[in-house]
Amino acid sequence: MSERTSYAPGTPCWVDLATPDREAAEKFYGPLLGWEIPELPNSAEMGGYRRAKKNGKDVAGAMPLMQEGQPPAWSTYVSVDDADAIGRAIQENGGTMVAEPMDVASYGRLAIFTDPTGAFFGIWEPADFAGAELVNEPGSFSWNELETRDPAAAKEFYGRVFGWEWEQQEGPGGMAYHVAKVEGARIAGMVDITGRMPDEVPAHWMTYFSVDDAEGAIAKVNAGGGSVSFGPIDIPVGRSAVGRDPWGATFAVVRLNEETLAEAP
């Protein structure tokens, strides 16, 4: 299994869901991804935050909506070695601070930003908690993808802040697909959504969850009260579809092919 105890700086290390109903979210994501999302001993003092578990391993977070008008959504967090220094670099390169660096108990240090194209993301400086303990396995996240209308600006921003190097590949239908790398390892993707999504859909980070069967996952999304907005389609790494949970949070599922699994860290 792809068990993790650490992440190289600049690597997405965690995802979490902001939702209006954590109990109902467990009933939706449990059958879909094999999760339990139990209340933790310190959930109350952590603002209601919980950690989803797959086979006893932490794989994602779930928290209540924090303010009126906040949309339900999945968020991506990038591991860093110094949240304060990276936070300054983010702002110096056109990012906007949403939540300043703060300690999260003894787990680590957190901050939230938007990039110059408008996409929300977080940074995480680990202490006792490195991030997801399981990745690339069914029921865990396997990929994080920036969907933006300004790939050039995003490349420059993330390259300067996290040291990402970019490689352009051909995606489905011949579209340009951009892969970010850290020390040669593929760690994230990016696609231009101009003309592919309604103008009211902002730039955002998409979380891909690994599944055993894309069609079976779609059936579970629909059975749980969610919807499928795209796919399934074959992509270079496997077979994928994009769905929405019953509250509108968007995510993707992917059945990774053998070649992709063999190359996964």
Over 90: is that where the pLDDT of 202 sits? yes
Over 60: is that where the pLDDT of 1 sits? no
CATH architecture for the domain at 141-263: Roll (3.10)
**The predicted structure's pLDDT at residue 265:** 58
Over 90: is that where the pLDDT of 24 sits? yes
**The predicted structure's pLDDT at residue 41:** 84
Over 70: is that where the pLDDT of 227 sits? yes
**The predicted structure's pLDDT at residue 46:** 82
**How many angstroms separate the CA atoms of 32 and 15, rounded?**
17
Q: What is the mean pLDDT of residues 169-198?
A: 88
Q: What is the mean pLDDT of residues 8-22?
A: 97
Lowest mean pLDDT among 89-103, 138-152, 184-198: 184-198
Over 90: is that where the pLDDT of 261 sits? no
Lowest mean pLDDT among 22-26, 137-141, 196-200, 213-217: 196-200
Q: Which residue did the predictor score with more confidence, 172 or 120?
A: 120
**How many angstroms separate the CA atoms of 61 and 77, rounded?**
11
Q: What is the mean pLDDT of residues 32-41?
A: 92
Average pLDDT, the chain: 93
**The predicted structure's pLDDT at residue 264:** 64
Q: pLDDT-derived band of residue 217, with 50, 70 and 90 as boundaries?
A: very high
Q: At the top level of CATH, which class does the domain 12-126 belong to?
A: alpha beta
Span 105-159, pLDDT tens digits: 999 999 999 999 999 999 999 999 999 999 999 999 999 999 999 999 999 999 9
**The predicted structure's pLDDT at residue 175:** 77
**The predicted structure's pLDDT at residue 262:** 67
Residue type, 154: A
Q: What is the mean pLDDT of residues 14-38?
A: 96
Domain 141-263 in the same topology as domain 12-126: yes
Residue 65 near residue 19, CB atoms below 8 Å: yes
Q: What is the mean pLDDT of residues 255-262?
A: 76
**The predicted structure's pLDDT at residue 199:** 87
Name the residue ranges covered by the structural domains of the chain: 12-126, 141-263
The CA–CA distances, whole Å, from 239 to 83, 204, 215, 230 equal 35, 21, 9, 12
Question: In which element (H, E) is residue 59 found?
Answer: strand 57-64
**3-state secondary structure at position 212:** coil
pTM recorded for the entire structure: 0.95
At residue 73, φ and ψ (nearest 5 deg) are -165, 155
Residues contacting residue 2 through CB under 8 Å, at least 6 positions apart: 134, 135, 136, 137, 140, 264, 265
Q: pLDDT-derived band of residue 238, with 50, 70 and 90 as boundaries?
A: confident
Span 75-87, pLDDT tens digits: 999 999 999 999 9
